[in-house]
Structure 1
Amino acid sequence: MTRTQLKEHPYRPHLAVIKEIIQETPTIRTFRLTWKDPAVSAHFSFQPGQVGQLSAFGVGESTFVINSPPTRREYLQFSVMRTGEVTRALHQLNVGDTVGVRAPLGNSFPYTSMKGRDILFIGGGIGMAPLRTLLLTMIDNRADFGDITVIYGARSPEDLCYRYEFDAWRAARVNLVLTVDREFPGWTERVGFVPTILAEEAPNPYNRVAITCGPPIMIKFVLAGLRELGYEDDQIYTTLERRMKCGIGLCGRCNIGGTYVCVDGPVFSGTALRAMPPEL
């Protein structure tokens, strides 16, 4: 997996302009950005799973996954859930405003090693963001992969992100299984918690890679469910968010034992998770 750090002026962000804002859910907004400096735009590259620090000037910065794929370079996309001071400030910005971006940071999904295999994505709520970048990269290289199944759930239909893309995913031969926690008027897809739907679908682990992201409690039960279905640790990947602040391994806020999520992650295999301290 790629491990990247900014090499010059690690705390200095590049400037980007908000070109579009999408209201995904009542508390989540997606920002599509373009670089102010053409030289940055020409040389910027990243891999699926890497993150960036997004700045609201005068307030602070926070870490978000880059959830546009590297195969589509017309903009850089971040989805932001309103949870604190920085995210509230970002939600108050408008198209045309300037933000700061320090990216790419962290490692990435081992994309090339997944070629020729079946793929299982399991997402919950905003956890679909890091999965989206890998999913779209695979869709843009669809012939390189076998079956692609996405199990995606949220508390309610309005809490599902990227609803406007679901038809395009299905058109790309993605088996999309949607679920919400309880019955809602007009909802015709599945009902139940994501780990329950995973057990019901029971995707065969043979030649398959499973990638999951969502609330920590969901990830915990999904990992247990995958292992019960026969998935080995080296077939499983997830992403972790843990108090990331500096993004370059200096402040020490995101450490789990000797592992720093901001530079050794945010992508971890099941094997790596097994080696981490019980505090995880």
Structure 2
Amino acid sequence: MTNMPEKNLYLPEIATIQEVIQETPNIKTFRVILDDEEKMREFTYEPGQVGQLSVFGVGESTFVINSPPTRKEYLQFSVMRVGELTSKLHQLSAGDKIGVRAPLGNYFPYESMKGKNIVFIGGGIGMAPLRTLMLFMLDNRADYGDISLLYGARSPQDMAFQYELPEWLERKDLNTVLTIDNPSEGWEHTVGLIPNVLLEMEPSAENTVAVTCGPPIMIKFTMQALKKLKFEDTQIITTLEKRMKCGVGICGRCNIGDKYVCVDGPVFTAAELGELPNEL
């Protein structure tokens, strides 16, 4: 009897783009389906895991799978245009082929978060990984306590997932606060920097986990705000997938001290980050 060959971690699956959504002037969302129907049916992943998307002949880069595993019609990735690879991705359309290596990395510890209140704090494209976990929790609503979302961006035009915001605002089982940095004509929600608005919201740290993602400077000051609100480092979770390169711990380009973001992360608690060298 021969053993089944192990999956080649370096070999991407061929996938077809089903839909492209223009989220903001520099962010597009890609909904893709693996061409191998059986592999698509059997594809499993956890909230917070990532994938490597490849444009053939150009390269590949890491993006969180921001469709929750409870909704598997497609795999969704949101891409900010910041360089050659992402610019090439932004040129693709429905029907085009890309490569997908996934799932990679660890994931949000949703099992240990059961029975607790959850506060999501997202900035800009940082809403992508939070969306995955938030929708997963809303699809398993009875397992969690109060769920709150603070989502901010520089301007209304910089907010992703705008087509979902009305539903998030209307849900009775989700407390949603939207904010922008400065006043804007027609904006009917909060105005202020995310850490300041968080302090005004004053979420209780008791039996609560805060999950945050966004630009590094936002995460830094958000963590400071959470500590002012008496959150312990073990109650604060973030994700660092943008530091990942090969995704399997070989290239060594994502190491922080003795940790590899792609193997030990990308999800970390503030307590775990506090044990690493100050390289973030």
Q: What CA distance in whole angstroms lies between the structure 2 residues aligned with 1:242 and 1:257?
A: 17
Shifted more, 162-171 versus 177-186: the winner is: 162-171
Q: What CA distance in whole angstroms lies between the structure 1 residues aligned with 2:219 and 2:133?
A: 18
1:153 is paired with a residue whose SS is strand
Letter in 1 for 2:34: W
TM alignment of 1:1-280, pairs within 5 A: 8-169=7-168, 170-171=170-171, 173-280=173-280
Task: Tell me how many residue pairs correspond in the alignment.
Answer: 274
Shift of 1:171: 2.0
1:112 is paired with a residue whose SS is coil
Q: What CA distance in whole angstroms lies between the structure 1 residues aligned with 2:70 and 2:91?
A: 29
Q: What CA distance in whole angstroms lies between the structure 2 residues aligned with 1:274 and 1:260?
A: 15
8 Å CA contact retained: 1:118, 1:145:
yes
Shift of 1:172: 5.3
What is the TM-score of this pair, normalised by structure 1? 0.96
Q: What CA distance in whole angstroms lies between the structure 1 residues aligned with 2:273 and 2:25?
A: 33
Please list the CA deviations of residues 18-51 of structure 1 after superposition, one character each: whole Å capped at 9, or x if unmatched.
Answer: 1111100000000001110012112210000000
2:29 is paired with a residue whose SS is strand
Q: What CA distance in whole angstroms lies between the structure 2 residues aligned with 1:121 and 1:75?
A: 24
Q: What CA distance in whole angstroms lies between the structure 2 residues aligned with 1:121 and 1:278?
A: 24
What is the TM-score of this pair, normalised by structure 2? 0.96
Letter in 2 for 1:67: N
Letter in 2 for 1:21: V
8 Å CA contact retained: 1:107, 1:264:
yes
Shift of 1:242: 4.8
Structure 2, unpaired ranges of 5+: 1-5
Shift of 1:146: 1.3
8 Å CA contact retained: 1:242, 1:254:
no
1:135 is paired with a residue whose SS is helix
Shifted more, 239-248 versus 57-66: the winner is: 239-248
Classify 1:50/1:172 alpha carbon distance in 2 versus 1 (closer, same or farther; 3 Å): farther
Q: What CA distance in whole angstroms lies between the structure 2 residues aligned with 1:173 and 1:247?
A: 36
8 Å CA contact retained: 1:139, 1:172:
no
Shift of 1:168: 2.2
Letter in 2 for 1:121: F
Q: What CA distance in whole angstroms lies between the structure 2 residues aligned with 1:121 and 1:12?
A: 34
1:195 is paired with a residue whose SS is helix
Shifted more, 122-131 versus 160-169: the winner is: 160-169
Letter in 2 for 1:38: E
Letter in 1 for 2:228: E
Q: What CA distance in whole angstroms lies between the structure 2 residues aligned with 1:200 and 1:172?
A: 21
CA RMSD between the two structures: 1.0
Q: What CA distance in whole angstroms lies between the structure 2 residues aligned with 1:42 and 1:241?
A: 25
Classify 1:172/1:264 alpha carbon distance in 2 versus 1 (closer, same or farther; 3 Å): farther
Letter in 1 for 2:147: I
8 Å CA contact retained: 1:142, 1:172:
no
Letter in 2 for 1:102: R
Classify 1:242/1:133 alpha carbon distance in 2 versus 1 (closer, same or farther; 3 Å): closer
Classify 1:120/1:174 alpha carbon distance in 2 versus 1 (closer, same or farther; 3 Å): same
Structure 1, unpaired ranges of 5+: 1-6
Q: What CA distance in whole angstroms lies between the structure 2 residues aligned with 1:258 and 1:214?
A: 24
